Amino acid sequence: EARAELAALEAESAARAERERGARKPRRYISPGDDRKTSERFRTQPITSAERLESSDEEKLDERAKLSVAAKRSLFREMEKTSEGGVPKPRSRNAAVERRLRRAQDRSRTQPVTTEEVVIAAT
């Protein structure tokens, strides 16, 4: 009997909560007369897919962005050749040798110097 009463009370409270939810009006984030960029939602809410599509139409692509991947790769290699000007690539070394050379390098080349260290060095 107690279980039946408890179940009835739970069902009644669930029905009441459902009615209250149904009575609420959906909240409007932007008033009909407001501009999107002047509303507070612009600073707090993500853009909608419609807004994203609208803005993507406005974007202008330059010539290089329209190229295929193969064309971009060949253009990159061509630019790389002209910028190098005949500088030979450093020969690859053994990993252990590379590690040893990195350890021997000056700390300032591998790690930033803090402002406190600059003050200490200046005094």
pLDDT value at position 10?
79
Tell me the helices (H) and strands (E) count for the chain, helix number first.
Answer: 7, 0
CA-based nearest residue to 15, from 23, 26, 3: 23
The series of mean pLDDT values per 10 residues for the chain, 123 residues long, is 74 69 62 61 70 67 77 87 67 78 69 85 89
Here the contacts of 15-22 (C-beta below 8 Å, separation 24 or greater) are: none
Structure tokens belonging to residue 68: 């295929």
Neighbours of 24 (CB within 10 A): 7
Query: What is the model's pTM?
Result: 0.23
Predicted pLDDT at 119: 92
* First-to-final CA distance of the chain: 87
CB atoms within 10 A of CB 104: 7
